[in-house]
Amino acid sequence: MIRSSTVDLSVRVTDMGVEENPLSAPLAAVVRNHIPGATGITNLKRLSGGASQETWSFDVTTAGKEPVLLILRRAPGGARDSRATAVPLETEARLIDLAGHADVPVPTVRHVLAPDDGLGHGFIMDRIAGETIARKILRDDEFAAARPKLARQCGEILARLHRIKMESLPPLRTSPARSEIIQYLETYKAHGHPHPVFELAFRWLRDNAPPETTAHTLVHGDFRNGNLMIGPDGVRAVLDWELAHIGDPMEDLGWICVNSWRFGNIDQPVGGFGSREDMFEGYESAGGLKIDPARVKYWEVLGTLKWGVMCTIMVTAFKSGTDRSVERATIGRRSSETEVDLLRLLAPRN
């Protein structure tokens, strides 16, 4: 993968001069052991994309051959993620491998870190050229030819993802609609930010929840513009599988339609680049389940509410001093945007 902006952390400066990044030596040893022909690494850089995991770009030098371009996806500091909703990185690597065998575009996983690698939890995968920054994907001329194809491609990809056999999956949490409602209602109440529109949405979601008998599949959990690697030819890779779980397949179709992931192109409901109809046609043509538009809308409402609650978490982190970054404060203010989106979904104007 290539994320657009990078932070060069391959070296650090101390009072004694320039000191090599402590990841360099153990990472070089790992690639020599697991990448055929590898002799070392160069150009180790921390990528700025990715809020919850470390992402490092590096090149593997080889004896007399072209360098191998790779990514290290690693838990912060190497420690396991403690969030209840996040799958372990080892599980994420397994899901990426399964997705690749199902013809979902993903990077090839080269190695899952072991304890004796000395790097903590994570995995190494191929680096795929492309763009993840939504503003560029939606506006730059480079992607003009790709944009009309993206919604249908997303539908086709999700159909293949949802057909992955359940018996082949590693252990994952099961989270139907009612479980999602309970989880986010508890979070909303705990943070103490009253939002009457959120409470209206919670009531609507409880009253209209899909039946418990709804068929479940693997769900990506964060399939949206920003987690897709895009090139001039279209979708090149599906990234960031940390929220994968077992659930309603319509959840993925609704999440990518949440207005916050349209990045200003509100008239293009699928990621700001396409129509629901194109995505639905792609989904069914690739062997996906029969689309239930009402259920997709349900998950769009729930996804909008979830993002609104997540924004209140950012407010709490900023106010408590846990994270006083401008980013946290700015995202926290966006909860008001989700209230407007919820009202438009629940009481549309004809």
Q: For helices 335-346 and 196-207, give the axis angle rounded to 10 degrees.
A: 40
pLDDT of residue 48: 73
H/E run at residue 333: helix 326-333
pLDDT of residue 25: 94
H/E run at residue 234: strand 234-238
Q: Which of 182, 137, 184, 161 is nearest to 303 (CA)?
A: 184
| pTM of the predicted protein model | 0.90
Mean of the per-residue pLDDT values of the chain = 90
pLDDT of residue 213: 85
- CA atoms of 142 and 146, how far apart (whole Å): 8
pLDDT of residue 337: 93
Q: Which of 217, 146, 118, 231 is nearest to 176 (CA)?
A: 217
pLDDT of residue 317: 65
> CB burial class (10 A; 0-12, 13-18, 19+) of residue 329?
middle
User: Token pair of 297, please?
Assistant: 């809308």
pLDDT of residue 227: 96
Segment 282-291, tens digit of pLDDT: 999 999 999 9
pLDDT of residue 2: 43
- CATH class belonging to 134-346: alpha beta
Q: Which residues of the chain have pLDDT under 50?
A: 1-18
pLDDT of residue 301: 98
- CATH class belonging to 6-126: alpha beta
Domain locations in the chain as residue ranges: 6-126, 134-346
pLDDT of residue 14: 42
The helix/strand/coil state of 325 is: coil
